[in-house]
Amino acid sequence: MTYLIIRFSTLSNVAMAVPVVASLSKRYPDDKFIVAGKKELSAMFEQMPNVEFYEVDNRLNWRGVVELWRELRNRVDSVIDLQFVRRTRVFDLLMLASGKSVTRVHYGRIRKQLIIWFGIGRKNMPNEFDRYRDAFRRAGLETDTDFTALPVNKRAAKVVSQRFGQKKGRWIGIAPFAKSRSNMLPYNVTKEVIQQLSNDEQTRIFLFGAGEIECEMLRQWAKVFPRTESIAGSLKLEEELELMRQLDVMICMDSANQHLSSLVGLRAVSIWCATHPIIGFTGWKQNQNDMIQRQDLRCRPCTCHGTNHCKYGNFACRKINAETIILHI
């Protein structure tokens, strides 16, 4: 059997699919799995022997969906839609008309909104891993929770070793940014954390980020603080993962770096501002005690993925002091 797994975006959600797909790859060695996603995310699936990554960078519009159907309808027997948006619904219908079986993920979007709007149903919310596993189960595929880390990418590990040298002391990663203002600490708090950690001569700091503005900001910070280096925009994804494998801890927001850390078995200390772990986006096998958040705010969570607005105008959820983070580290 050949299965098509659709998960176009985002980086966080694709990373969350990796432990489940790795389980399928191991449990069903005689079957083939095609993962349709963006080219830059292929590194997360490269070392799974019966998994093929199918690039869809230019197929995210309506016309591209039809082209994708034409190219894959004769190659696959079943479709598991982990994206489940309007474009993939059309693709699913086309596949059904071609005689293929289609299974869609259940995201529980209504229940998530009830939590955000009214605080209803705050307990026992399935995480995204459980939702993915449920989708595969309904497609007749069983998965397990044995995944601990991706295999070492020897080529990428060599690049990391040549650039950063042999590890001495503590290596700490800090990923201070997120897509939305509500999901980030204020810059002055982040800089205080970097300053205190970098003052230790046995500690080396690596700053992670993406995007032109973020990269430039992190480069400037790296010039200010001792033993601090920005790797933003300078490494391929597989090289970033191998650097993360060398770290002792990753300090990040509720963002993609939490999930990338999980793929290499790295402990992530995540900071949750407007979002909340109960929505279901915690990292694979990450410890609940490593999730720093304001437990005293009844308005949390006010968003599933992030927002640039606060209905009270004060973003109280971002008021987490640097000392709390430093003490936890």
Asked if residue 199 and residue 50 are part of one domain, the reply reads no
The model's pLDDT over 113-157, given as tens digits with 9 standing for 90+, comes to: 888 888 766 666 889 999 999 999 999 999 999 999 999 999 999
At 62 the pLDDT is 80
Residue 12 lies in a domain: yes
At 227 the pLDDT is 96
All residue ranges of the chain with pLDDT < 50 are none
Asked if residue 216 and residue 107 are part of one domain, the reply reads no
SS3 labels along the chain: CEEEEECCCCHHHHHHHHHHHHHHHHHCCCCEEEEEECHHHHHHCCCCCCEEEEECCCCCCHHHHHHHHHHHCCCCCEEEECCCCHHHHHHHHHHHHCCCEEEECCCCHHHHHHHHHHCCCCCCCCCHHHHHHHHHHHCCCCCCCCCCCCCCCHHHHHHHHHHHCCCCCEEEEEECCCCCHHHCCCHHHHHHHHHHHHCCCCEEEEECCCCHHHHHHHHHHHHHCCCEEECCCCCCHHHHHHHHHHCCEEEEECCHHHHHHHHCCCCEEEEECCCCHHHCCCCCCCCHHHEEECCCCCCCCCCCCCCCCCCCCCCHHHCCCHHHHHHHC
Total number of domains in the chain: 2
Residue 144 lies in a domain: no
Percent of the chain beyond pLDDT 70?
A: 98
Asked if residue 309 and residue 232 are part of one domain, the reply reads yes
Asked if residue 190 and residue 53 are part of one domain, the reply reads no
**CATH number of the domain encompassing residue 266:** 3.40.50.2000
Residue 149 lies in a domain: no
At 57 the pLDDT is 74
At 35 the pLDDT is 97
At 45 the pLDDT is 96
Range of the domain at 37: 2-138
Residue 96 lies in a domain: yes
Report the predicted TM-score, pTM, of the whole model to 2 decimal places. Answer: 0.94
Asked if residue 119 and residue 160 are part of one domain, the reply reads no
At 318 the pLDDT is 96
At 69 the pLDDT is 94
